[in-house]
């Protein structure tokens, strides 16, 4: 392995932070908006949908796609920063 132990640990820490922040969004749109707070959100009209219903059946999926794309971009940047890219 070409990188030092300290760098490897710092890289891993930042990686965990990135994952955690994206998973917070992931949880919020699916379990939060789509399940736990669906009734509250349903009182809001969103282009003809009840907002909670929309998150549960479509919105969360769009956000999931965006999350993976953003995560891949963040990680590419992090890999460059620590010079561990391929």
Partner 1 sequence: METQDILNFTFIGASFALYIGIAIWARAGSTKEFYVAGGGVHPIANGMATAADWMSAASFISLAGIISFMGRDGAAYLMGWTGGYVMLAMLLAPYLRKFGKFTVPDFVGDRYYSNFARVIAVICTIIISFTYVAGQMRGVGIVFSRFLGVGINEGVVLGMAIVFFYAVLGGMKGITYTQVAQYVVLILAYTVPALFLSFQITGHILPQTGLGATLADGQSVLATINSLSTELGLKEYTAGGKSTLDMFFVTAALMCGTAGLPHVIVRFFTVPTVKDARTSAGWALAFIAILYTAVPGVAAFGKLNLINTVNGPENTGVAYTAMPEWFKTWEESGLIGWSDLNGDGKVQYAAGKAFAGKGKPAFGEGRNANGSRVTTNAASGKFDATKQPFANEVYVDRDIMVLANPEIAQLPGWVIALVAAGAVAAALSTAAGLLLVISTAIAHDLMKKTINPKITEKQEMMYARLAAVGAILVAGYFGINPPGFVAIVVALAFGLAASSFFPVIVMGIFSTRMNKEGAIAGMIVGIGSTMAYIVYFKFMGGTKDELFMGISPEGFGTVGMILNFIVAFIVSSMTPPPPVQIQELVESIRIPRGAGDAHAH
Chain residues that interact with partner 1, rule: CB under 8 A: 1-3, 8, 11-12, 15, 19, 22-23, 26, 30-31, 34-36, 38, 42, 46-50, 53-54, 56-58, 60-62, 64-65, 67-69, 71-72, 75-76, 79, 84-86
53 by Cβ neighbours in 10 Å (0-12 / 13-18 / 19+) ranks as middle
The answer to whether the beta carbons of residues 74 and 18 sit under 8 Å apart is: yes
- Contact criterion met (CB below 8 Å) for 42 and 53: yes
**∠ CA(39), CA(42), CA(45), 5° rounding?**
170
Give the shortest CB-19-to-partner 1 separation in angstroms. 5
Shortest distance (Å) from residue 12 CB to partner 1: 5
Shortest reach from residue 1's CB to partner 1, in Å: 6
């Amino acid at each position: 392995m070409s990188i030092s132990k300290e760098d490897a640990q710092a890289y891993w820490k930042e990686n965990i932070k990135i994952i955690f922040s994206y998973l917070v969004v992931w949880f919020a749109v699916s379990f939060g908006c789509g399940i736990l707070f669906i009734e509250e959100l349903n009182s809001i009209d969103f282009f003809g949908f009840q907002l909670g219903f929309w998150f549960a059946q479509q919105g969360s999926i769009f956000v999931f796609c965006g999350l993976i794309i953003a995560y891949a971009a963040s990680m590419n940047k992090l890999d460059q920063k620590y010079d561990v890219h391929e």
